[in-house]
């Protein structure tokens, strides 16, 4: 049996034949490139998730601030109760992983904090 260019071919000898596929070195380089890209992308993705959680807590605190002002307009005092704020804005608990902690509330002002369960920041809100 003759192979390409009239040379005899031997079984198992790929010389002279058009072999398709990837070599081990090419596959190892591809895996190494993917590993490097993963090392860059995964921490950025996690950081973006924390930023989104913090943005949710910040947005909820802004809505709670508006609800506090509406409560004061309706009742003449600020409240230190989430239940009272929910009478003004039923959507404050849309993100159930945001927690509220009141530091103080009286007729002249209020201070509360919001934090997302998976976020990294705590937002302190005062009038």
Q: Hey, which residues does 110 pair with through a beta bridge?
A: 105
Measured CA to CA, the distance from residue 112 to residue 8 in angstroms comes to: 86
First to last CA, the chain: 92
13-49, pLDDT tens digit by residue?
556 666 688 899 999 999 999 999 999 999 888 889 9
pLDDT at 64: 93
Q: Which residues of the chain have pLDDT under 70?
A: 1-19
pLDDT at 74: 92
Q: For the stretch 58-94, what's the b/e string if a residue is b when 16 or more beta carbons lie within 10 angstroms of its beta carbon? A: bebbebbbebbeebbeeeeebbbebebbeebbeebee
Residue found by looking up tokens 């998730």 in the block:
49
Q: Contact 109/43 with Cβ under 8 angstroms?
A: no
pLDDT at 22: 87
pLDDT at 9: 53
C-alpha dist (Å) from residue 106 to 58, 77, 86, 102, 114 = 23, 6, 18, 11, 19
Q: How many residues does the chain have?
A: 127
pLDDT at 51: 94
Continuous segment of H or E residues that includes residue 13: none
pLDDT at 107: 81
pLDDT at 114: 94
């Amino acid at each position: 049996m003759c192979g390409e260019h009239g040379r005899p071919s031997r079984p198992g000898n790929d010389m002279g034949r058009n072999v398709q596929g990837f070599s081990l070195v090419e596959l190892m380089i591809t895996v190494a490139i993917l590993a490097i890209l993963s090392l860059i992308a995964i921490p950025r993705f996690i950081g973006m998730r924390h930023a989104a959680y913090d943005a949710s807590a910040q947005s909820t605190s802004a809505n709670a601030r508006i609800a506090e002002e509406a409560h004061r307009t309706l009742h003449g005092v600020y409240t230190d109760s989430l239940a009272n704020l929910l009478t003004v804005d039923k959507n404050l608990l849309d993100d159930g992983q945001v927690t509220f902690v009141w530091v103080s509330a009286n007729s002249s002002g209020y201070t509360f904090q919001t934090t997302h369960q998976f976020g990294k920041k705590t937002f302190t809100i005062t009038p």
